[in-house]
Amino acid sequence: METNKTFTMIKPDAVANGHIGAILDHITKGGFKITALKYTYLSPEKAGEFYAVHKERPFYADLVKFMSSGPIVAAILEKENAVADFRTLIGATDPSKAEAGTIRALFAKSIDANAVHGSDSDENAAIEGSFFFSAFEKF
Ligand code: GDP
């Protein structure tokens, strides 16, 4: 299992608000190398599949609706200790609780429209990266 990769999405709110460039800049200045990158859209079906682990949670329907409300940017990132370091860079799920200077503190408005996704384990980073990218698209 690789420990130097994580997966991220810039969510529909951050894309719609024009933050793609600023967030990618924050990520690269944070020491992450982008090894795959895609501007794309999740249909409700695909968003439901991506977040299947949250199927039983009360916010699942809202989450699927929000994630399919507009285009997103998907990326695989490389850095030593990638998963934990990226979660530190993005801050808490609820932006009102995110530390100052984190991506969610800077660019997110609410717990559902929280600007970015970050994988929570090495295993999920690999699964999520392969959800969006073929072997030919990972560098
Ligand atoms: P993350 O790993 O920090 O993204 O958080 P989770 O894996 O726990 O949840 C996945 C996503 O579901 C979050 O990024 C939020 O967009 C959304 N979410 C989590 N908790 C809530 C909640 O209580 N209400 C709503 N509306 N959305 C939530």
Compute the half-sphere exposure of residue 95: CA atoms within 13 Å on the CB side of its CA.
18
pLDDT at 1: 83
Phi, psi dihedrals of residue 30, rounded to the nearest 5°: -80, 0
Can you tell me which atom of ligand 1 is nearest the CA of 51?
10
Using a 6 Å cutoff on CB, does residue 6 contact ligand 1? no
pLDDT of residue 109: 92
Mean of per-residue pLDDT scores for the chain = 97
The predicted-structure confidence for 47-60, as pLDDT tens digits, reads as follows: 999 999 999 999 99
Ligand 1 touching residue 113 (CB < 6 A): no
Nearest to 20 by CA among 31, 1, 34, 4: 34
> What local confidence, expressed as pLDDT, does residue 111 receive?
96
- What is the mean predicted confidence (pLDDT) over 8-27? 98
Considering the entire predicted model, what is its pTM?
0.97
pLDDT value at residue 67 = 98
Q: Is 19 a catalytic residue?
A: no
Asked if the model's pLDDT at residue 43 lies above 90, the reply is yes
Q: What is the spatial distance between Cα 137 and Cα 38, in angstroms, rounded to a whole number?
A: 9
User: Tokens 């996704």 — which residue?
Assistant: 117
Q: What mean pLDDT comes out for the span 118-139?
A: 97
CB-CB contact of 91 with 98 (8 Å): yes
5-17 average pLDDT score:
98
